Amino acid sequence: MNRSLIRKTLFILAITAASVFAIVRAPLRLGLDLRGGVSLILRVKVDDPSPERRREVVQQTRQILERRINAFGLSEAPVQSYGSRGNELLVQLPGISDPSRIKNLLQSRGILEWYSVEGGPYASPEEATAHHGGTLPYNRKLVATQPAGDGRLSWFLLDSQPIIRGTDLRDARVALDAMERPVTTFMLSRDAASHFEQYTQSNIGQRTAIVLDQEILSTPVIDDVIRDSGEIRGARSREQAEDLAVNLRSGALPAAIEVVQQRTVEASLGADSIRQGLQAGVAGLAAVVAVMLLYYRRAGANATLALLMNGLLLIAILSCFGAVLTLPGIAGAVLTIGMAVDSNVLIFERIREELRAGKSAGAALAAGFAKALATLIDTHVTTVVSCLFLFFFGTPAVKGFATTLVIGLTTNLFTSVFVSRLAFDWELWRQRSRATLSIGIAR
């Protein structure tokens, strides 16, 4: 008897130590709603009829976006797929408060092309066509420049075939030009470089256009043979030049991207939420423990022990999985307290019934736990079943809630049956033959 009790106690102590170790080794990371940041849901605009091709495009987009985000210095923010449609991506960027820069970084496609200029500038597309007798010449296209300082556009007539394509780039960096202004320099791949060298050699004095995402960035005149690199001027700030370099380096997006949902949380709101969640948890726990102690006396202390153990295990398992704690997750944890209390009440009421029926302390304890166990399994399984359907929601918030609750229910079954029972067994063993139970009823 004594030996088995000691063995079980050692087992529980080992689990406690392991839990504490797990929590210390990898503390819970806070979710975006608790530490502030930007979360975006992006839709990849791909309407290829083949589902395989669509998947491929979304997958490519995801990798490129991830590369861009990493280049931005946010390594712990993977791009996740979102929703059931298969063309939506979730980007979470904790710790960022200005979403506009990151949005440009994600949304611009990053297709860089180099064309020869065949005419222009014109003030409007109409002027351009009028210049050519009412119709555009064959194999030419009209492209607008970036809006100038006063918001005006000008138009150039370009060859419809680019000399250099986006896929011809090898690298892109930020440098300073002779005037100490930030410029984005890029390197061409070997094939493209030899092609470009030939082209520039035979076209010295010709005006060219550097086009990014269907917008003319600049129209330099070729004044010398260019081998394998070029630079893009006109960045308004170093940041802008850097972002362009990142976009060119990470590759062009295979499809356009639309932002369908955006959420920005300020860090101070997250801090408030943590404080409120903690307050709610502590207040709820304190009230429950007080009532349990009042109503069940010493047995209430056993329940409290089981409750605390449950909380410890829950946090340990969550940090083992590398889970991220969110506000709905805190709600799930608070609800776990409710479920844990229910299990203890169920067991204690059963023990009381057995005691009233005249059984000895030991027999009542055994019968109470055994009979309550069937009910406990039924209630826990049904709640887990209903929780599983919460995973139907693609939303991370609801998933976080369901995950916490399911883990909490599982650990609760262990603590309320095993840990609390052990505490009772020690109580009986200490009193030996004339054992009585302190469970709040007069005998």
Partner 1 sequence: MELFRDTHFNFLGRKWWFILPSLILILAGLTNILVKGPRYSTDFKGGVETDIRWEGAPPVERIRAAVSSRLAGVSVVAAHDLTGSSEVIVSAELPSGGDVTTVRQTIDEALSTISPRYSIRDYQAIGPQIGDDLRHQALMATAGASGGMLAYLSYRFRLAYGVAAVVAMLHDAVITIGLLSLFHQEISLTVVAALLTLIGYSMNDTIVVFDRVRENRRISGRESLAETINRSINQTLSRTVLTSGLTLLTAVALLLFGGQVLRGFSLALVIGILVGTFSSIFIASPILLAWEQGHAKWRTQQRTLSAGGVR
Interaction of residue 105 with partner 1, rule CB under 8 A: no
Selected binder of partner 1 within 57, 91, 216, 387 (CB under 8 A): 387
CB of 244 to partner 1, least distance (A): 19
Distance CA 265, CA 22 (A): 29
Interaction of residue 308 with partner 1, rule CB under 8 A: no
**Secondary structure element (H or E) that encloses residue 143, with its range:** strand 140-144
Report which of 96, 146, 140, 150 is spatially closest to residue 117, judged by C-alpha positions: 140
For residue 218, what are the β-bridge partners? 210
Looking from the CA of 267 toward its CB, the CA atoms found within 13 Å total 6
Looking from the CA of 53 toward its CB, the CA atoms found within 13 Å total 8
Interaction of residue 378 with partner 1, rule CB under 8 A: yes
Interaction of residue 436 with partner 1, rule CB under 8 A: no
CB of 388 to partner 1, least distance (A): 7
Residues between 31 and 50 with contacts to partner 1, criterion CB under 8 A: 33, 41
Selected binder of partner 1 within 237, 262, 431, 436 (CB under 8 A): 262
Residues between 76 and 95 with contacts to partner 1, criterion CB under 8 A: 83-85
Residues between 313 and 372 with contacts to partner 1, criterion CB under 8 A: 327-328, 331, 334-335, 337-339, 341-342, 345-346, 349, 352-353, 356, 371
Degrees (nearest 5) of the Cα angle 282, 285, 290?
Answer: 120
Interaction of residue 394 with partner 1, rule CB under 8 A: yes
Residue (120 or 396) nearer to partner 1, CB: 396
Phi/psi of residue 165, nearest 5 degrees:
-105, 170
CB of 152 to partner 1, least distance (A): 21
Residues between 405 and 424 with contacts to partner 1, criterion CB under 8 A: 405
CB of 386 to partner 1, least distance (A): 4
Radius of gyration of the chain (CA): 33
> Interacting stretch for partner 1, rule CB under 8 A, among 44-52, 169-177, 197-205, 391-399?
391-399
Selected binder of partner 1 within 124, 146, 160, 279 (CB under 8 A): 279
Is residue 76 within 8 Å of 125, Cβ to Cβ?
A: no
Distance CA 8, CA 11 (A): 5
Phi/psi of residue 296, nearest 5 degrees:
-110, 5
Distance CA 258, CA 80 (A): 16
Selected binder of partner 1 within 4, 167, 214, 386 (CB under 8 A): 386
